[in-house]
Structures are given as C-alpha cells and as structure tokens.
Structure 1
Amino acid sequence: MTTTATRPGGAKPRAAISARTLRTDRWWLAPLLTVTGLTAWVAYATVRVFMQKWYFLEGPGFKYLTPFYSPCVSKGCVPEAAEFGTFLPDHPLIPYAALSLPFLLLFRLTCYYYRRAYYRSFWMSPPACAVPDGHKTYSGETRFPLIFQNAHRYAFYAAFVISLINTWDAVVSFEGTEGLGFGLGNIVLWVNVIMLWAYTVSCHSCRHIIGGRLKHFSKHPVRYRMWTFVSRLNAKHMQLAWITLATLALTDFYVMGVSAGWWNDLRFIN
C-alpha cells in the first residue's frame, strides 16, 4: 500500500515512496561501463609510462615515438628520441615524459565531459537521472579539491602546445636513418594526432576563447566561422574523448610492439 506524507500549507500530499528509484531500466549500466573503461585505460597507461622501454624505434624510413613518451626529456631517453633535449633525471619513478603528462592529466581530469563521467560513475553524484545522489551533502565545485576544476581553461593552453609536439612527432616519423619512407606506423601516428586535435579544439574552453566574448558576430566573420566549426566539434566532445583514449592506447601499443620486435612495421615506401 502507498502511504502519503502531509505537507505544510494545505498542499496536496506527496506519496511516501521507500524505493531508492522507480526506474526499471538498466540505469546502472552506463556508470559501470565508464568505471570499467577508465580504470582499464588508467591501469594500462600507468604501466606503460613507467616501463621506460619499447617506446621508440628508428629504421631506414621511419622514426616512431609513442605519445606516452613525448616529449622524451629524461636523461635516460634514447638520444634520437630526445627532440627537445634531456634535462630530467633518469629515475624509475619519474616518467620520461614527465614534462607533459601532468598537464595532459589535468586537462583530462578537468574536462567538462570527464567531470560528468567520473562524478556519475566513481562518485555516484548522481549516478543517473532520477536516481538519488550517493552523498548526503553537495557543495558543487566551490570547495577543495574540486575548486581546482576551474583550472581547465589554463590546462587547455598546455594541451594545445603538447598537441603541437605530437604533430611534430608525426611529421618527423616519415624520416629515418636512410631518408624518407611511409608505413602503417605513420598512419597510426597521424590518425591519433588528428583525433587529438579534434578533441582538444572541441573543448568548451577553446569554444569560449574563439567566440565566447564576441558581442557582434557580424563584425568578426572569420572568428564566427571558426566558432561555428568548433561548436560542431563540441557537440561530439564526449565521443572524441573516448575515441582519443582508444587512439592513444592503440598508437602506444603499436609502437611498443614494433619496438619490442613482436611484429614488423608494414612498409609501403622504403
């Protein structure tokens, strides 16, 4: 039997429902998949950045550097992979790409989509629509540590620079010890770079930088066209966030396999 609770002011009573939610669909599936996917990716990435091997290979017509080790600035880096010099100490607990990884992590953690993803999945706040929050109180992003989510706009600039570095890695990947060449590894690197650029410029901060403060689009036609382009990408920000996780892992795995000798790079030219 459904009971009712009396409300003040003579308002109509509300049904006192003891169930946590009346949803009968599998609302828990999306948070579960998010937890599984992000946990698996973080585990793989953590292992790889601390392996400090199988990250670079140079041949007759190619030079492949995995994005997990770019830029390689540790004194333990292979000299050919250190395009920007080596100035970090060589230590098992310091990743070879320690200069870029913290900023990339900050950019992803503060991303508007990822915030929604791990708030709903790991923190259950809330796990789904029409499902109660897993916490008794809610302070939003106004207190420590979530107040640092506001650093996302600054992390974007760092991610932009790192995307330029990844692009440079893709450009020089065509040149090896015996001149220019072209292989499957080049395609893998470039697909990853293109997807990374799409994810980076689809960021809400980028959209605001381009056209967020304009009062008259008609007076700024170039920026308006750029804003409309970024806005279309912004609508796919969630998909691009997951696609780039996949391309990063696949690119790293491919370079690792070629470097470790598990398989040979498929060469088309040289």
Structure 2
Amino acid sequence: MASTEAQRPAASQGAGAPGAPGGVDGPTRARIGARTLRSDRWWAYPLATFVVFLAFIVYATVRAFANSHFYAAPYLSPFYSPCLTDSCEQAGAADFGTPFGWWSLSPALLILIFPLGFRLSCYYYRKAYYRAFWLSPPACAVAEPHRTYTGETRFPLILQNAHRWFWYAAVLVALVLTWDVVLAFRDEHGDWGHMGLGTLLMLANVVLIWLYTLSCHSCRHITGGRLRHFSKHPVRYRMWTFVSRLNADHGRYAWYSLFSVALVDLYIYLLATNVFDDPRFF
C-alpha cells in the first residue's frame, strides 16, 4: 500500500509535463512490463481479420483494374455496377447509359470509391482493421506499440467523419444492385422468365448488402437520432426500433456481405471466361 501511494505523486506530476510520454506509456497508466497478462489466443482474431481483409483487398484490386469479364448476360458484377463507360456498352452492360463514355480506365474505378468509402469508414470495420493492420490496439487488454494516440483528429483518419455521406451513396448503390437482380431474371436475349444459379447468388448478395447498409450506426441515428419524444414520432420510432435490432448484428452482416460480393463477382468471372455454364432452373 505504501509503494502504491508513493507512486501517485510522481504520476500526477508527470501527467501535464511537456514531452511526457503518451499512450500506454502515459504517466497515469499502470506500470506493467508485460505486453498483456492474457493467457488466451487473443492474437487469433486480429490475425484472421488481417488475412481475410488482405485477401479481399488483393482480389478486389485485381478485378477492379482488369476491365474485363465483368458481364455474363444477364449478370453484371457488383464491382462494376452501375456500368457507365463505352466498354460497358460494348459488353452489353450499360443499363444506365454511358455518361462517362470518355473514361478509358476500368469502369469499376468510377463506382468502387462509394462502397469502399462506406466500408472503410464503417464503425465496425474501423475496429477490425485498426486492430488487425495498425495494432491500435490489437485486442482488449493488449498494449499497442504506438507511443502516442491522436484518435481521428488528423489526416487521413479525420475523413472517417464522412461516414454518413458515404452511407447515402451506399443506399444508392444498393438500389442499383437491386435493379441488377431484377434484370437477372432475363435471359441472354432479354426475355423475362429466366432464373439461374447466378440469379439466386445475386439475390442473396443484395439482401446481405441491404442488411449491412440498414444496420449501420449512421442509419440508426438518421431514423431516430435527436428525437426527445418517441411518442410524438411513432413512424420514426418504429424505423429506429427495426434498425436497432439489425444493428446488433452489424458486424456479422459486414462479414457476410463482404464474402457475398466477392463470390458473385468470382462467379460471373467464371461464367464470362467459359469455365462452366450457369445452371438454370427455368
């Protein structure tokens, strides 16, 4: 007890001293030499997150710059939707015209910035990649290697504050992907009444994307934020309640939709490269 009391004056004197260390080495933190006292495999989750995220980043980057094999009638890859350049028209995938016909690079580069910005600024994904890539911190009760902490007050992390605006863009993208599912009920000649395995995969993907988008923390705030009396706003209260229930599984939807969007793109790529034919149900 005496040793603990003796340490308190020194800690309080150093707290405001110029040049005092911050982060885990701050003067008000406990002096524990070990990085962590945890005995479980705390490193497994951030390691798995790192591997999966890195694999998705590599795959998505290659596919985004490929500018080929993104359309297998009537299926359009979600990485390229909406497709708005001349290369889209040549492939037969320009359902919304070609307002960026002059664009010579991959049409995916015009679109992916919006779902990518939404996911990068997502509260769940921030936690995931802060831990997995920046080790800030790698897990609960595990010291991070950084000596200082600035939060999201400096560039580039200050851009995380644009998350709500990216949510609005993500809703528009989800609407377009929903329309793509409707079009996936056509055959390669444009006649309605077709349903193949690709149709079901695209349908499952858009459902997961909507669950992820609507379970977003920003959506929860938009539907019910700043309301002092829910009784005076029964419609918004019901919307807020619905979104709140989805929000409990936001992290799960984030993972599922990440896998589904990559799976659908891979499936369409395999169809476009004639690896196999799309199984059709009618």
TM-score (norm: length of structure 1): 0.90
Gaps of 5+ in 2: 12-28
Which residue number in structure 1 is paired with residue 151 of structure 2?
140
- Higher RCO (C-alpha 8 Å, min separation 6): 1
Question: Which of 95, 116, 123 is residue 127 of structure 2 equivalent to?
Answer: 116
Once residues 281 and 8 of structure 2 are traced to their aligned partners in structure 1, the CA distance between those partners, rounded to angstroms, is 78
CA change 1:10–1:261 in 2 (3 A) is closer
Once residues 39 and 112 of structure 1 are traced to their aligned partners in structure 2, the CA distance between those partners, rounded to angstroms, is 19
CA change 1:111–1:17 in 2 (3 A) is closer
Which residue number in structure 1 is paired with residue 53 of structure 2?
38
1:47 to 2:62 alignment: yes
Question: Where do 1:224-235 residues align within 5 Å?
Answer: 224-235=237-248
Q: Secondary structure at the match of 1:156?
A: helix
Q: How many residue pairs end up in the alignment?
A: 258
Give CA-to-partner distance per residue, 1:74-124, whole Å, 9 cap, x none: 222244201112224353xx3212332111111011000011111111111
- Quote the RMSD (CA, aligned, Å): 1.9
Once residues 48 and 159 of structure 2 are traced to their aligned partners in structure 1, the CA distance between those partners, rounded to angstroms, is 26
Deviation at 1:52, TM superposition (A): 1.5
1:7 to 2:18 alignment: no
Corresponding letter in the other structure for 1:243 = Y
Once residues 178 and 48 of structure 1 are traced to their aligned partners in structure 2, the CA distance between those partners, rounded to angstroms, is 26
Give CA-to-partner distance per residue, 1:123-149, whole Å, 9 cap, x none: 111111111122000011111111111
Once residues 88 and 261 of structure 1 are traced to their aligned partners in structure 2, the CA distance between those partners, rounded to angstroms, is 27
Question: Which of 203, 219, 230 is residue 206 of structure 1 equivalent to?
Answer: 219
CA change 1:10–1:65 in 2 (3 A) is closer
**Structure 1 runs of 4+ with >2 Å offset:** 8-11, 14-18, 88-91
The alignment-based identity, stated in percent, is 54
Q: Secondary structure at the match of 2:87?
A: coil
CA change 1:197–1:8 in 2 (3 A) is closer
Which residue number in structure 2 is paired with residue 179 of structure 1?
191
Which residue number in structure 2 is paired with residue 105 of structure 1?
116
Gaps of 5+ in 1: none
Asked if structure 2 preserves the Cα contact closer than 8 Å seen for 1:74 and 1:97, the reply is: no
Once residues 168 and 15 of structure 1 are traced to their aligned partners in structure 2, the CA distance between those partners, rounded to angstroms, is 56
1:191 to 2:213 alignment: no
Once residues 159 and 152 of structure 2 are traced to their aligned partners in structure 1, the CA distance between those partners, rounded to angstroms, is 8
More strand by share: 1
Once residues 220 and 90 of structure 1 are traced to their aligned partners in structure 2, the CA distance between those partners, rounded to angstroms, is 46
CA change 1:187–1:52 in 2 (3 A) is same
Give CA-to-partner distance per residue, 1:206-241, whole Å, 9 cap, x none: 110001121111122121111111111111010100
Q: Secondary structure at the match of 1:42?
A: helix
